[in-house]
Amino acid sequence: MADKQQTDPAPQWWSRPEGTAEAGRRDGVPAPRPDTGGADHVQDSAPIQDVPPQDVPAPGVSDLTPDVPAAVPAVRYDPWGAEPLQVVDRGRTPRGIGLWQVVALSLGTALLAGGIGGYLGVLAERRSSTRLELPQAAGAADRGRAPDSVAGIAATALPGVVTLHVRGTKGSGTGTGFVLDQQGHILTNSHVVADSQEITVTFSTGESVTAQLVGRDSGYDLAVVKVSGVRGLHPLSLGNSENVQVGDPVVAIGAPFDLSNTVTAGIISATGRPVTAGGDKGDGSDISYVDALQTDAPINPGNSGGPLLDAKAHVVGINSAIRGADKEDATRQGGSIGLGFAIPVNQGKRVAEELIRTGRATHPVIGVTLDMDYAGDGARVGDKGEDGKPSVVAGGPGARAGIRAGDVITKVDGQRVRGGDELIIKIRAHRPGDTLTLTVLRGGRESTLKVVLGSANGS
């Protein structure tokens, strides 16, 4: 059949002829399908195959099948055209996994695994029957302490130390005391119970009872109160303050800032410290003169009246005063800076005995009036006494020793004194009837005089 323009209706399907005959066919043109016995449609057993488009001339009309069923849509399909009628959608081309995705995935997996593992571990530990025990030093509990250790001293002394709560017309306060005997006498500071209306004593066991004031002396800053009806009292043993040396270990017990049964430790820092306290009345009648023991054992407000104990748990002093840091507000209570002062127990013992016996204490005196405004070195005997009387009491201890008005006393038993306060302190450290050696400066010349101390009632 010659190649010519087809004028008949266009066929609905093109089919590649079966067979491999190549004769009489142009390059790029498929061979005609042989006659299969009058079949007018595309065989169902031969599926249409997608053939890649090729740049070839249009096929001849002689290769067309004669008839096409009417049910087939009238669409021209050219299997050798540039684009097939149907295209397979295979989706987007897959991309490789980025490094950051791998890191994020790994991190998330690790966190998830850690959380699950931790939860399971805690759950397993809680449900486990194994008991958790932390390591601890082995050995049986040893509650015993050496008697001369701080713990041993405290264990011995605490049952005999009490806390005093005092209510007065000017308010209330707290102090400390310690038991003297089985009769219920308790020694404390005078300034703790001054102007008291009600005194409550609390023991280390927590038992509280009401106490009565027996007597007090502001010149020594000592007082005695008494409790009644209390059994099982533990009096403290009194030591000898004359045997105390600088550097000796000491323990203080008290109620600083109302913290009862507080124990502190330190050493004796000095002995024979001249300390004055009080003087609130302004006339000097309430000034305390103490030849004190100095200690660095922490002492604070509330420790007043408590015991200062040596290594044998013997009382060697009564804690009475502290030297606080300088402060602008004079009403503010200062804390310990390592300068505490205690009344020597020898002096406290004598005064306590007198207070228990008579309710009053006696003071040793030399029978002279001192010039407290004298700015020189030593204690000067005044020119006039009170109310214009002579400064040296006629017939008194000083007059009998040969002391005159205007004399300057520079030493007591060889120990230098720098002022009138120090002379009073040195004298009150002794008992009435004791003999002292005084070094006196008169007219530029020194001389020594022997004086036997007299006695005067205290306040």
Closest by Cα among 442, 286, 283 to 378: 442
What is the number of other CB atoms lying within 10 angstroms of the CB of residue 342?
Answer: 31
363 is catalytic: no
304 is catalytic: yes
What is the number of other CB atoms lying within 10 angstroms of the CB of residue 399?
Answer: 17
How would DSSP label each residue in 313-336? S-EEEEEEEE-PPP-S-TTSPP--
The SS3 of residue 452 is strand
The SS3 of residue 160 is helix
Structure tokens at 423: 């002379």
User: Looking at 63, 217, 221, 296, which residue is catalytic?
Assistant: 221
Partners of residue 356 on adjacent β-strands: none
Residue type, 156: T
Answer whether 324's CB lies under 8 Å from 415's CB: no
Closest by Cα among 423, 416, 429 to 381: 423
Structure tokens at 215: 């007597």
Structure tokens at 159: 């049952």
Structure tokens at 299: 């002492």
What is the number of other CB atoms lying within 10 angstroms of the CB of residue 394?
Answer: 10
Contacts of 207 (CB under 8 A, 6+ apart): 230
314 is catalytic: no
Q: What is d(CA 252, CA 240) in angstroms, rounded to the nearest whole number? A: 16
Helix H or strand E encompassing 397: helix 397-401
User: Looking at 185, 191, 363, 430, which residue is catalytic?
Assistant: 191
Three state DSSP letters for 18-48: CCCCCCCCCCCCCCCCCCCCCCCCCCCCCCC
Answer whether 411's CB lies under 8 Å from 417's CB: yes
Q: What is d(CA 310, CA 157) in angstroms, rounded to the nearest whole number? A: 11
User: Looking at 260, 304, 320, 336, which residue is catalytic?
Assistant: 304
For residue 165, give Cα distances in angstroms to 24, 134, 174, 208. Answer: 138, 45, 5, 10
Closest by Cα among 240, 270, 251 to 345: 240
Active site residues: 191, 221, 304
